[in-house]
Every structure is written in structure tokens, then in C-alpha cells.
A and B are shown apart, each in its own frame.
Chain A
């Protein structure tokens, strides 16, 4: 007998396997597992995103590559998986936040934005003619409910977290977070925790190989750290053993 995936159930996204799986969606999840890792941590004072930026070649210009995207003043997202797919979702998310501001004259709630992104993702798991988005996103921001942190996956599921990681080595990073997570942190400590978690799994060589963004509940503004700020931060973080 063939294993199920070989029986042709992975050929179309509109067909369930006998076990109730949509193989193309599961494969999209594999693309995420091979992506560059990214971390999100939420604490009482705010929320942090940290993402690895791998040096893909000796002459590559790290400033040209983004792993954390500001979507609106108060919210950002970091993808893992197929980054080209992520770009489409980020553009869509920016569109949603802008039209929300136009219609309601207020910043969008982070959960509603995440839901909008995931509704789009879900569409691509149910209708033929296109493949699912091979990307997971960590969406972080501040809204009326306080600090928010959500993780999405290619199927369109979104789940809120206190701290989470996606991409390669996300298991190791999550393990680190589970051991070291505290809710009662100031934003500086929260940033450090996120970077330490990332550093527990991947080698962070310099300030160009990582991107960090944070927002405080007070300020409600998502801010990306400059290379200098990251360098100062990295001096405090031990290199991967």
C-alpha cells in the first residue's frame, strides 16, 4: 500500500486525504519550518519581535532585507517561510489597516488585523488554482486591549501567545522561552529575553544579523531598533554555546 501522501492526495489543495488532511497546507507548514526563525514576546509593559537575518552571501547588503515589517504605527509582523509570500500578506495587512483608519478614524485592533490576514490565508486552502501561502507570521502590537501577540500559520489558524517562535529551530527557541518567560518584565528586559531566546538557537554574529522591534503599552508605537541599539543590546547577550 502507498503511504497516503503518495496516493495523489497531495496533488490538489481541494482534496482531503482519507485522514482528513490537506497535504498542500501541511507542506506549506514545512516551508515555514525551514524559514529563518523569528520570535515574539509579550510582557506587561509591551511586546517585542526579534528575527534572524542570515548573511546569505559575503557581499549581501543586510540593510536591503527586512524581516520585521511595520504595518501601522502600533503593529508589526515578522514572517517565516517563503518571504515572497509574506510580502503579499504584509501589503494586504497594510491595506487593511489603512482602510480601517479611513473608515473608523482609529488604529485597527491587532486581533482583527490578524483575523483579516488569516481569512486571506484560509481562502487559499479551500479553492483550487493556487497554492496556500507558505508563510507563518507573528503579529505584534498594542491596542485598546493592551499588548497583543498572535501567531498565524499557512492554514489560516491564528493563536494568541505570551511568547512564541516560528521557523527553523523554533522548537529550541520555544523551549528557552518556556523556561525563562516572565510576564512581569519591563520592556528592556522583554527585548533582552526575545534576543536571548533567538540566540539560544541561532548564531547572531553582529547587529546586522538580527532585527528587533518593540512597542510599549504606554507609547503605543511600534519601533524598530537601529543597528547601534542592537549592537549595544547584543553586548549583553551571550553568544550561542
Chain B
């Protein structure tokens, strides 16, 4: 793995009273080369839980698979769906178990459960921090400014979605390893929805 393979990505999460929005851009870059414009960094785990991530694609995909498997196993065992916090804690245990050879990914865990909406930020070692909004990856420095300026906890989910997309767009403008398009996951008490926002190619 060359040094050019870095956490080149932008992922944001916005929590409001109604639910949570997770968004990430789609660029997979190997240094100065854009390997793919269709990299998926937002993963729906179950119908009320999703993650968005910045890092090595393989690690993100593996973490998403581990979480999906465990969420399903939990549901079968407990006869109820896991809470957002429970799954975030599980992910934290998985990530910290690799303390000395970590998954190279930062993760945003978002979802809605009996207690309401949750957004949890995790670093590659598995730290758990609950927050109202967050930005991860190389574009985070740009995206967080947009979120800081406009976030209100009483926003509607639609407003939150617009804000998240706007933050990712700002990061794409200024972060060379972010781009390609935007994946958005919207979670509220009715379930999880996913959509892709295509970007106009500016020449």
C-alpha cells in the first residue's frame, strides 16, 4: 500500500429532531489518479441504521459487512432491532480489537431508534462520540464550515439533507481527492432511504 492511498474522501452527517442524514462523495483516488467515480461510502445497514465513511474502500466495505451481519444476527437473537448506540458500540469493539493494525476508516454511524435520532462519530480506533453534526475525511475542513454556519437542531429533514449535500459540494470544490458525485442516506422513523446526486462536469 503506497502512501498515496489515504483517507481521501468527505463524509458528513447531520442529525435533526426528525432523523439523520448521512452523505459522502464518490471519488476513489490513488494519488493523482481518480480510480473510480462510483465509489460507495454510504452504506445502509438496516432499515433504521446507516454508516458513512472516509478511508480505504476495502476497509469501509468490510466494516459495513461486519455491521450488517451483526445487526441481522442481533435482530434474530433479540427479536428486536438493535439500537443505534448498540451497533456503534459493537463497531467500536471491532475497530478497537484491531488497535495495532487498524481498519483505515473513519465512520459516521447514524440512525433512528426508540430513543430518537442518533449520530455517532468514530475514528479508526473506534472512539465513540455522539454529536449533532460532523464531517470526516480530507474534505472535512471545508465541509464543517458549512455545517457550523447553518446547522440548527430544529431543521426539517429536507433542510438537513440540503445542508449535508451543500457541505459535500463545498468540499468537492476545494478538496482534490473528493468528487465524482454524492451518495445520501436519509433516515427517519419511517425507514432508511438512499439516493445518488449526480454532479455536472464543469470544464
Contacts and interface: CB of A to CB of B under 8 A. Distances in A.
Contact of A104 (B79, B80, B90, B114): B90
B86 A144 contact: no
A153 interface: no
A2 interface: no
Nearest to B83: A106
Contact of A103 (B79, B83, B93, B114): B93
Nearest to A115: B77
A192 B83 CA distance: 36
B82 interface: yes
Contact of A105 (B74, B79, B89, B114): B89
Interface in B105-125: 114
B85 A106 contact: yes
Nearest to B85: A105
A105 B85 CA distance: 8
Contacts of A112: 77-78
A106 B87 CA distance: 10
A72 interface: no
SS class of chain A's interface: helix, strand, loop or mixed? helix
A112 B80 CA distance: 11
Contacts of B86: 104-106
A106 B90 CA distance: 11
A144 B89 contact: no
Nearest to A105: B89
A112 B82 CA distance: 13
A104 B77 contact: no
A144 B114 contact: yes
A35 B80 CA distance: 35
Interface string B77-102: 11110110111011001000000000
Interface of A: 102-106, 109, 111-112, 115, 144-145
18 contacts: A102-B93, A103-B89, A103-B93, A104-B74, A104-B82, A104-B86, A104-B87, A104-B90, A105-B86, A106-B85, A106-B86, A106-B89, A109-B78, A109-B79, A111-B78, A111-B79, A144-B80, A145-B80
